[in-house]
Amino acid sequence: MLITDGKIVSPVLVQTALSNHIPIYYLNDERPLNLKVNSKMLTTSEDCLDLLEKNDSNHPNVRASKLVKNKAEFRKISSSLNEDFFYRLFSIEELLKVNKESIPYPVVIKPNKGYGSVGVYIVKEENDWVQAVQDLYCDILLAKNIYSDTVVDSDQIIIEEWIEGDEYALDCYFDNRGIPVILNILKRRFANDKDTSDRIYYTSSEIIKEVQGQALEYLQKLNEEITLKNYPFHIEVRRTRKGIVPIEMNPLRFAGVGTTDVSYHAFNINASESYFLDAKPEWEPIINRPDQSLYGFFCAEIPNNISINLVESINHTSLEKEFSEVLEYREIESTTDRTFAVIFFKARNIEEIDRLLQLDLSSYINLKKVKEAVK
């Protein structure tokens, strides 16, 4: 079953559901929602988790989703695989009073339940603490008007140690025997050492090769702890000298706002169809293919210093010209989400990706004219 809030839905996912006769259930649906114990379910948004919990809180996949969505609980679950990992949970009031000298820098602070990079801040040293906490507090106040408490928790904040190493995002599922199946591996690229945005993730045959084996081994060990079956998920990890260390696990969904479709463009792998049909990608031919290009997605977002309500229009044509090869340009119209386009692209080299990371997106945004008050 596909469960959707209908806000930002991939056209590939919709076509997959229709072609394979997969039942579609909407967030505001009035039909009864009947979930069998071993049934397959995929959501398009974490807003759907609240619906599932209200409908059947005892369903094993619903119970598991509530746990892994909670970052502190997920840290407890994964602690046997990643010993001595520092993390602490605070209320927002406690965070504002924390003795900054007691923090083992560098750390990351973020909502205990969150979405994307909302409220995520890297604090390298003590001098950065006060500003980071103030910025997080402002983000949380803004998020209350956009996301439900199921998606972003404004009450609890987690502080955890900064993980050194390359960052990857994986779309996967545990099959009916609990064996992990990897559908995509994306590498995350940052504009600078304090960047936490989700602007660009990219993949290639070489990226699959460099981390697939290690990631698969880690996921097998992880599922010995959580014992899930027929379960889709998106997991973010870092590869360190000690091995794979998880950042967070997003339950019952793949990469957000349809970005999982990068695997469709890069490797002809349809993630949702693979999950529903129990298909497993053959990675060996992909790893050994001659094509060594970089395939990625670019999440174009309205900068935080611009109010969504003040946006008149977006110059999509000009933004599209910044890419050497666009595979698909998806315009997104939303009154609540800051994402205004998802661009799937093919890059010649990493230098092109670095240039795209530095784009000032405000130059493609036309603002409404504000009428001056009569004095």
Model-level pTM? Answer: 0.88
Instruction: Give percent of the chain above pLDDT 90.
Output: 59
118 vs 246: which has the higher pLDDT = 246
Q: With bands split at pLDDT 50, 70 and 90, how would you rate the model's confidence at 147?
A: low
What pLDDT shows up at residue 74? 87
Q: How confident is the model at residue 373 (pLDDT cuts 50, 70, 90)?
A: low
Band of residue 153 on the pLDDT scale cut at 50, 70, 90: low
Residue range 166-367 in CATH 3.30.470.20:
yes
What kind of architecture, by CATH, is found in domain 73-161? 2-Layer Sandwich (3.30)
Residue 143: what pLDDT?
73
Domain with CATH 3.30.1490.20 in the chain: 73-161
pLDDT in tens, 218-241: 999 999 999 999 999 999 999 998
Q: pLDDT value at position 375? A: 55
Across all residues in the chain, what is the average pLDDT?
90
pLDDT category of residue 5 using cuts at 50, 70 and 90: confident
pLDDT of 116 over the 80 cut = no
pLDDT band at 36 (very low <50, low <70, confident <90, very high): confident
3-class SS letters over the chain: CEEECCCCCCHHHHHHHHHCCCCEEECCCCCCCCCCCCCCCEECCCCHHHHHHHHCCCCHHHHHHHHHHCHHHHHHHHCCCCCCCCEEEEEHHHHHHCCHHHCCCCEEEEECCCCCCCCCEEECCHHHHHHHHHHHHHHHHHHCCCCCCCCCCCCEEEEEECCCCEEEEEEEEECCCCCEEEEEEEEECCCCCCCCCCCEEEECHHHHHHHHHHHHHHHHHHHHHHCCCCEEEEEEEEEECCEEEEEEEEECCCCHHHHHHHHHHHHCCCHHHHHHCCCCCCHHHHHCCCCCCEEEEEEEECCCCCCHHHEEEECHHHHHCCCCCEEEEEECCCCCCCEEEEEEEEECCHHHHHHHHCCCHHHHEEECCCCCCCC
| Average pLDDT over every residue of 139-162 | 74
**pLDDT > 70 in the chain, percent:** 95
Residue 117 pLDDT > 60: yes
From 66-75, 115-124, 294-303, 328-337, the region with the lowest mean pLDDT = 115-124
Q: Residue range 277-295: average pLDDT?
A: 96
Start-end of CATH 3.30.470.20 domains in the chain = 166-367
Confidence class for position 330, pLDDT limits 50, 70, 90 = very high
Give the model's pLDDT for residue 58: 86
The pLDDT assigned to 208 comes to 97
Q: 185-215, pLDDT tens digit by residue?
A: 999 999 888 787 889 999 999 999 999 999 9
pLDDT > 90? residue 129: yes
